[in-house]
Amino acid sequence: MSAAILIAFGVRLILVLLFLPLSALDKILNFRGAVAQAREVAPSAGLARLLILAGLTIEIGMSAAVLSGIADRAAAAVLAAYCVATALLWKQFWRPGDFWRDPNGKARGLFWDFWKNLALAGGFLLITFGTTAATVGDVLHAPLSSSRPYVASGARP
C-alpha cells in the first residue's frame, strides 16, 4: 500500500471520525439522551426517535461510503447536508440572546459549534466536487460516481 493511499484514507478517516464511530456510538449507547435532544425540534417522541434513527443511518452508511470510495461523492454530499441541517436545527446561536452580554454564555458555544458544522460540511463538499471546475463537471455528469480516492494519479482502474 502506497503512502498516497494511506494519506488519502487517513484524511477521509479524520473527516468521518466524528460520525463513525463517535456520534453513532453515542446515539446507540445513549439513545434516550439523543431522543431527548431531538425533542428540542421534534413535536413528538416518535418523530424524535425517527430523526435519531435517520441520523444514525446517515452517520454509519455515508461515512462507510466515504471511507470505501463507493459512491463517495453522493455520500459526502449527504453528510454535508446533514452537517448544515444539524447546525441550523441544534446550533442556533442567535436564540439564547446572550451572545454580546455574556462571554461565557450559551450563545458563544453554539456559535462556534455552528461554524464548525459548516466547516465540516465544506470538507465533505470538497470530496463531493473536488477542487477544480473540471471535477465539478464530472460530478454533475455522474453524481453517483466514485472519486476513485485510492487510485494513483493518472492510473485507471
DSSP code string of 64-76:
HHHHHTTTHHHHH
CA 64 to chain centre: 12
Counting DSSP H helices and E strands in the chain, the numbers are 7, 0
pLDDT averaged per 10 residues in sequence order, the chain, 157 residues: 91 96 97 96 96 98 97 97 97 91 90 97 95 86 91 63
Comparing C-alpha atoms, which of 88, 90, 78, 91 is closest to residue 124?
78
Looking at residue 154, what is its pLDDT?
57
| The dihedral formed by the CA atoms of 57, 126, 7 and 116, expressed in degrees to the nearest 10 | -70
Residue pair 152/4 in contact by the 8 Å Cβ criterion: yes
pLDDT in the model for residue 153: 66
In whole angstroms, give the CA distance from residue 68 to residue 39.
Answer: 33
What local confidence, expressed as pLDDT, does residue 138 receive? 85
The pLDDT score that the predictor gives to residue 157 is: 47
Write down the pTM of the prediction. Answer: 0.91
